[in-house]
Each structure stands twice: as structure tokens, then as C-alpha cells.
Chains A and B, each alone.
Chain A
């Protein structure tokens, strides 16, 4: 199962991943009309510790507690990808309360969203990975630690 992994040593903190994510999930054709002059709601975010920066997005956990905690039955894991049915979400934020990675946040309408690996948008592969200028975010298969 391919997942997104980050290497903080290579992260420049340029936040292109946030913009590429917001654009990929906007459903719009060009980036300027999708993002220019608007607050953006990306599903990946950059955190900063002194000189270090790194990107945080859903880990698609082996045993995802968000799925077990969702009061609407709106989050499920299918073929290794944790996905939200946004039509069922009521915006209670229980998933925010339980996600140990801080990987879920509401969109501009208060409906929850999270990284779904761009598998359901036009990008088809993680836009954050595709656009990362320094390969600090990769999309690949890794083994679980024994």
C-alpha cells in the first residue's frame, strides 16, 4: 500500500504542497482562479520547529481511530485509504478530537476533509508529492517496522 512519507531534512518550508493540495481538490481548471485572493483549506499543512519544517497529512493508519470514532459513520477505510463521505459528515469534530496526527480539519463550509491521496480528484496521484521541488514528500510503498 503506497502512502505519503516526509523527509524533514529536505523540506524547504515553501508551502507549495499546501497550494498544490488546495488546487487539486478545488475541482477548478487553473490555479489562479482557484486560489488567488482566497483563504485556502489544504489537506496537508506545514509545521515548523525552529529551523526545521515538515509536512503533515493523514497517515492512513493501520488501525484508524477516526473511523471508529465518527458519529456519522462517514469515515471508512477502503483499499487502505481512509476516506470521508462528506455528505454524511455533520461537522461534530470528533475526528479532530481523536486523530493523533492532527490530520483532519474542516473545509470552508465546516465539513471535515482530509488527505485522500488525490485518488478521487482529477490529479489522480498526490499533488503535494508531484509538486514538491525537493522531494521532501514521497509517495511509495514502505514496510511496517517489525
Chain B
């Protein structure tokens, strides 16, 4: 009987479990879960603070998920070491688990910059886990002044989540615009204005030089008083365990399209990996939820001896703030088609006869049609892209293509 070990208990792990079970009903699955919660999706933690979900609705799967899938979950345990030669994983309590194949799904961890005086700050949090959200909930039982370092996806979602609970929220970032990893400065300005109209204050192109208790001394010379500090500077892949057992790593654990690492029998999935972004043709850490699930599922199938590949990963994000939705995908390379109003943006990037990426703020109707063009690498001369540019519609496709989509099983 196969022995499967999954290190981690996030969405990639859930995908891995379901992937294994799609091919092997009998093998034994052991899940090593550092957190003491059953699988939940990290992006939900801001919605939890906002009150849009709660602990009862947050679990990713039904309460009997592990039982139904024949999984043993070791809560509160971490894997210290993997031994590729002997095919064992050693846990922090000394337990040695043999494996036929193992999946490393250890995710990522917040990067905490070494800022002078950080240890003098009474209440400092990161915003990555459910426990972080619960700690922030506790820290904001009465309205507090919140300072968030980092205007990326995590920092801004945290700002939105805390909005109804905080006396004030100030976000600072060394970058000159919000969401620097997914937006250009022009698109970011639309979003920043909207966030400011909702009461979020920004200090961009600025950072904390040092802390003195509840005061942040900024590089610009300004001082900011706060009660609660959130560190959302960035995340780093948890790749140390993989590196130590011989897997090649870069910014994440390197995997091929089967999700196997460079060491036989060791797979990896989710935010700890670096896979190929087909829109850019480059290796990249694609720390987004859909990829985590799909990587996990592919890894699981391959671990169980079936064949699966995940070979069309692209960066993509759907992120809304105070009712204004933003969607981005792919790479912003090549010729750009732009539509803009004061409160919206649409930018489609084309190169080599393909759609490479897009930014949509405001109207995101049927954005998935654009995403599919990128993922499927659909040649733009095979349909009426001029119509599609303006409206995401199947009207731009040939009658034959439509017949395949709507007249057949897909």
C-alpha cells in the first residue's frame, strides 16, 4: 500500500488529497498541519474581519473531509526534515514517517523587515493566517489607530477588513503606488483614490525608519502615532525543508509540470513553489489560490501513479475594495489597448499575436473570456479580436467555435 505524506494543510494540500483519491482509493495519507485548524483559504481572513464570513463558514471543505478521504491529520506538528534516500519525513516531535511519495505544500511566510525599534511596539501583527486575523480582531475590540506597512494585496485587504473596526488606518509603502506587484501607476491611482474616499490614508514612497513604542518615525520626517501595527511587506516561500533535502530552489521550490521537484518522489505545490508563468515564459512564484489547488491536484494524481500536468499557469488576481473590483492577469508586455474613465480602467496587452495580460478596474463582466485567451494562447487572428477588445463576448468568435462551446459537452 502506498504511503503518502503531505507537508502542509492549506489549499494545495486539499488539492493534493483530492488528486490522490481520484487515482488511488486505498493508499494511506498523512497530513502534517502546523496550524490547528482544518483547511481554510487564507484570502478569507480579511472577509472574516469584515464580517462577510465567520468561523463556521470558513472551512474549505465539509467537516468530514479528512475522514471521508481516509486522511490522518497531525495538527500542531511540523516537518523538520525529509530524507530522500530513505524516503522518510521526521517531525518536530521525533516521529519518523515513511513515504512512497511526499508533497511539500508548506506555503509562504510573512517577511518581517529588520526595522529599528520594532521590539518596542506593543501590538505588532502579520496578516497571513486565521490566528493572525483572530489576534487583530482582539487588538481592535475598541477602535484603534492602525498603521499597515505594505500597500500590496495583503496590506490593502487587511485595511479593508479592519475598516469598520479601526479609528483610522494609514498604509505606507516604499513603492510610489498601491498594489505595485499587479498594477501600473496609472491604474493604481484609480484604486488609491477609491480607497482614500473610503477613509484609508496613504504614505507612499515612504517607510518607517524606526519605531519608538507607538510612534513610527518615517523616512520623510513625519511621525505617525498608532495603536496597532500590521507588517505586510511581503511573503517568502517556505522552501528550507525542500532545499535541505536536496531539491533545487530559487525563490521557491522548482517544480516541473507534473509538480515533481528535482528529487524523485518529492513533489511540491502551492505558494512554496516556483513554476512556469506561460504568459511571460518565465519561472515565477505564482502565489495565488487557483494555482495552489491545481498544482496540488496535479501533484496528487502523479503521486498516485496517474498522469497529470499543470502546464498553463499564469498570474491572475480578482481583488475588490469597498465595492470596486479589480482583475488582473498575465504579463503587461507588448501593445496596449486602453479604455478609461475617472473611475475605471481597461488595459489589454497583446504581443506576438496573443493576448498576454490585462488590467480591469470597475467593469469586470465576463473577464474570464480574456483570461482564457491568455491561458489557451488563442491566436488573435482566429477570431474578431476588435470586437472582443471592447466587450468580452462570444459574438467575436466564429459560429463553429460557438457551436463547440454551447452545442457540445465541454
Contact = CB atoms under 8 A, between A and B. Distances in A.
Contact of B372 (A88, A100, A110, A145): A100
A105 B364 CA distance: 10
Contact of B394 (A50, A56, A72): A56
A59 B327 contact: no
A136 to B, nearest CB: 11
B410 A61 contact: yes
B294 interface: yes
B405 A72 contact: no
Contact of B371 (A6, A50, A100, A105): A100
A98 B392 CA distance: 13
Interface residues of A, number: 43
Interface stretch (B215-223, B249-257, B313-321, B344-352): B313-321
A69 B366 contact: no
A8 B43 contact: no
Interface in B17-72: 41, 43-44, 47, 52-53, 57-61
B396 A72 contact: no
B372 A52 contact: no
Given A5-B406, A6-B406, A69-B289, A97 B371 contact: yes
A8 B397 CA distance: 13
A73 B61 contact: yes
A40 interface: no
A127 to B, nearest CB: 18
A54 interface: yes
B358 to A, nearest CB: 10
Interface in A58-117: 59, 61-62, 65, 68-69, 71-73, 87-88, 90-102, 105, 110
Interface of A: 3, 5-8, 47-50, 52, 54-56, 59, 61-62, 65, 68-69, 71-73, 87-88, 90-102, 105, 110, 142-145
